[in-house]
A and B are shown apart, each in its own frame.
Chain A
Amino acid sequence: MKLTDRIQDNIVVLEPKGKIMGGPDASLLHDKLYELIESDRKKIVIDLAKVEWMNSTGLGILISSYTTLRNNNGELKLANVTDKIQSLLTITKLVSVFDAHDSVEEAVKSFE
């Protein structure tokens, strides 16, 4: 997995790319998240458009991001959830946990 980030309308948009399967992937996203929280950036969108697939480690990273932000008075939104990831969120009932949007623009707007 590769990870880039950008700012859109004062919201941080994280863009993981590739497959999220474990190993170094978890610490990459986790470290980025703590770096953002420490710099008081606590409204974050994860754009999943370029994630080919993820496994339960990937879901664990999303949950960790969600709870870490919530515990620091922040908020996480998902955008562009692919069919494969949506199917995993549905079978694991995590679809009820995450606030998911069809586009980054919609996700960013939802913070207003």
Chain B
Amino acid sequence: MGKPIIKGDTIKIPSDPEFLSDVDIFLEGTLRGFGAEESVVADIAISVSELVNNAMLHGNQSANDKVVTVSISRGNESVTVTISDEGCGFDPASVPDPLADENLLEEVGRGLFIVKSLMDKVDINPTEKGTTIAITKAI
């Protein structure tokens, strides 16, 4: 797979950060179509960029033949976005606390913490065939 593929409310991208902006354009356009406020659009866009980055680098280990899938669905008063990779899963409890004094100046390691801060609900489902994370935010 060499470039993004969009089908309905789903986009599949190769594990290359070059394609982060394709996900963002697709996501923000869809959210505005749902009538979401700009602040909510930004919070969801930030969160999805974090999770897609993680899925590419940590999940798929940047492997060219593995893809990241992002799907958007609208509920009555909320939006749910699921991000799936094809890696080996991970233990969310193993992520170091980014607020600890010794980690404060680390350049990485805040992504999941930020997602949990910005979203109303975060469901993490790691399996041996990949991790799927579903994030939900009221709109």
Contact = CB atoms under 8 A, between A and B. Distances in A.
A89 to B, nearest CB: 11
A55 B105 contact: no
Interface in B46-82: 46, 49-50, 53
A50 interface: no
B29 interface: no
Interface residues of B, number: 25
Nearest to A59: B110
Contacts of B1: none
B98 A92 contact: yes
SS of B interface (majority): helix
Nearest to A23: B17
Nearest to A66: B105
Contact of B46 (A23, A53, A60): A53
B91 interface: no
A57 interface: yes
A55 B53 contact: yes
A88 B114 contact: yes
Given A55-B53, A55-B111, A91-B114, 16 more contacts: A22-B20, A23-B17, A24-B17, A24-B18, A53-B42, A54-B46, A55-B49, A55-B50, A56-B111, A56-B114, A57-B49, A60-B108, A63-B105, A63-B106, A67-B105, A93-B99
A64 interface: yes
A21 interface: yes
Contacts of A93: 99, 104
B50 to A, nearest CB: 5
A19 B24 contact: yes
Interface string A72-93: 0000000000001000100111
A52 B111 CA distance: 18
